[in-house]
């Protein structure tokens, strides 16, 4: 049973025929070729993911926020105390968090999943179907999870992705919520991109210089441990992640197997995506990067995944906020192909193929 999560099927790539058809359709629309820039590229990507051109406008975009606490937060690597995670979960469940506001504006719905919040309050119990544990080990000196917990978390992420797609979700966003989670995310990025701690450690929640030095030391020590298990993605999650990030990795991997496009958010989602790409090579073709945040590790992860962000707004809150901010542009790109008139339909002359005779 524990080996089940290692048996990922081979991912199918987005449909090349639909991609080619979408590119051809763009050349027929009443605009100069390439004049909508990245919007054209996004629309083509959506068509390829959906396997049809023109693509269907999205009807049920869904944000799933994976919440969890991290033992390393006790080492003073964050600007906020650990109990804030459970408090923010409560705000999210009542619709008062940033992701609730932005998702409502963009036409997306939000689900919160407690994977490892260090609380047993009623608010977290209501979303704890897949909860693996309370918090995680302090990754600078011990594993984040046991092997069974890491496997359970990845299985949970896969099950959540399946449930969302089966429920009609046609576009997914993975959000994160957890004090201190940029520290394990930075370790994962450093390990999988071959970077040094000083290259990945950012300011996270707005830490001062002293906290930055504590964070850098924690990343350095955790990275030493993580590098010994690089060949095994599940062991890497066990050693240096946490149940929330492990579940997110399973979620992203399974979404690609279900041929469902995903918009990635910030550092934590990008770190989980790096591991998901190890679990299911080629999964990244089903993802778009919603935004470039302010964390140096985020830029390294996107470069490694060869993903160009849609937005560059320095959004570093997490929760899925940066990805949701990019959603309207993805919707526009899709509807351009689905609804814009062609030269023939509009009776508008197309571009000249040859120079007119003199």
Q: What is the mean pLDDT of residues 239-252?
A: 98
Q: Six-digit token pair at 306?
A: 């060869």
Would you say residue 355 has pLDDT above 80?
Answer: no
Percentage with pLDDT > 90 across the chain: 89
- pLDDT digit string, tens, across residues 48-84: 999 999 999 999 999 999 999 999 999 999 999 999 9
Residue 91 is classified by DSSP as H
Q: Under 8 Å CB-to-CB from 275, ≥6 apart: which residues?
A: 188, 192, 233, 236, 237, 241, 245, 246, 249
pTM attached to this predicted model: 0.94
Residue 59 CB: number of other CB atoms within 10 A? 10
Categorize the per-residue pLDDT at 354 as very low, low, confident or very high, splitting at 50, 70 and 90: low
- pLDDT digit string, tens, across residues 183-225: 999 999 999 999 999 999 998 888 999 999 999 999 999 999 9
Please provide residue 68's backbone torsions phi and psi, each rounded to the nearest 5 degrees.
-170, 150
Q: Six-digit token pair at 214?
A: 């504590």
Categorize the per-residue pLDDT at 2 as very low, low, confident or very high, splitting at 50, 70 and 90: very low
CA-angle at 118, arms to 116 and 123, nearest 5°? 85
Do 179 and 243 contact (CB within 8 A), yes or no? no
CA-angle at 283, arms to 281 and 286, nearest 5°? 160
Whole-number pLDDT of residue 138: 97
Residue 149 CB: number of other CB atoms within 10 A? 22
Percentage with pLDDT > 70 across the chain: 96
Residue 158's SS3 state is: helix
Do 341 and 30 contact (CB within 8 A), yes or no? yes
> Which fold is adopted by the domain 61-327?
Rossmann fold (3.40.50)
Do 162 and 52 contact (CB within 8 A), yes or no? no
Would you say residue 28 has pLDDT above 70?
Answer: yes
Q: What is the mean pLDDT of residues 152-178?
A: 98
Provide the residue ranges of all domains of the chain, joining segments of one domain with +.
Answer: 61-327
Do 324 and 300 contact (CB within 8 A), yes or no? no
Whole-number pLDDT of residue 149: 98
Catalytic residues: 319
H or E element: which one contains 68? Answer: strand 61-68
């Amino acid at each position: 049973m524990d080996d089940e999560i290692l048996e990922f099927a081979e991912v199918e790539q987005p449909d090349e025929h639909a991609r080619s058809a979408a590119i051809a359709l763009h050349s027929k629309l009443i605009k100069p070729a390439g004049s909508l820039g990245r919007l054209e590229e996004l629309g083509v990507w959506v068509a390829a993911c959906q396997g049809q051109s023109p693509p269907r406008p999205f009807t049920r975009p869904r944000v799933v926020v994976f919440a969890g606490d991290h033992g390393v937060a006790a080492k003073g690597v964050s600007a906020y105390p650990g109990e804030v995670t459970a408090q923010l979960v409560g705000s999210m469940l009542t619709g008062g968090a940033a992701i609730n506001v932005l998702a409502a504006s963009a036409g997306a719905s939000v689900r919160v999943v407690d994977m490892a919040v260090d609380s047993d309050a009623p608010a977290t119990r209501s979303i704890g179907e897949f909860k693996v544990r309370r918090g995680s080990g302090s990754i600078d000196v011990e594993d984040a999870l046991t092997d069974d917990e890491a496997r359970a978390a990845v299985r949970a992420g896969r099950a959540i992705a399946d449930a969302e797609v089966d429920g009609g979700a046609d576009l997914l966003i993975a959000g994160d919520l957890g004090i201190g989670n940029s520290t394990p995310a930075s370790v994962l990025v450093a390990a999988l991109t071959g970077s040094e701690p000083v290259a990945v450690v950012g300011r996270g929640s707005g830490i001062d210089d002293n906290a930055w030095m504590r964070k850098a030391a924690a990343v350095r020590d955790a990275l030493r441990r993580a590098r010994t298990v690089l060949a095994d993605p599940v062991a890497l999650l066990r050693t240096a992640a946490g149940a929330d990030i492990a579940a997110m990795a399973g979620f992203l991997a399974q979404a690609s197997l279900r041929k469902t496009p995903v918009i990635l958010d910030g550092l934590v989602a990008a770190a989980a995506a790096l591991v998901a790409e190890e679990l299911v090579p080629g999964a990244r073709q089903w993802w778009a990067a919603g935004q470039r945040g302010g964390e140096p590790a985020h830029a390294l992860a996107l470069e490694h995944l060869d993903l160009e962000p849609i937005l560059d707004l320095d959004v570093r809150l997490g929760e899925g906020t940066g990805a949701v901010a990019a959603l309207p542009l993805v919707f526009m790109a899709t509807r351009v192909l689905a609804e814009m008139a062609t030269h023939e339909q509009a009776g508008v002359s197309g571009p000249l193929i040859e120079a007119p005779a003199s």
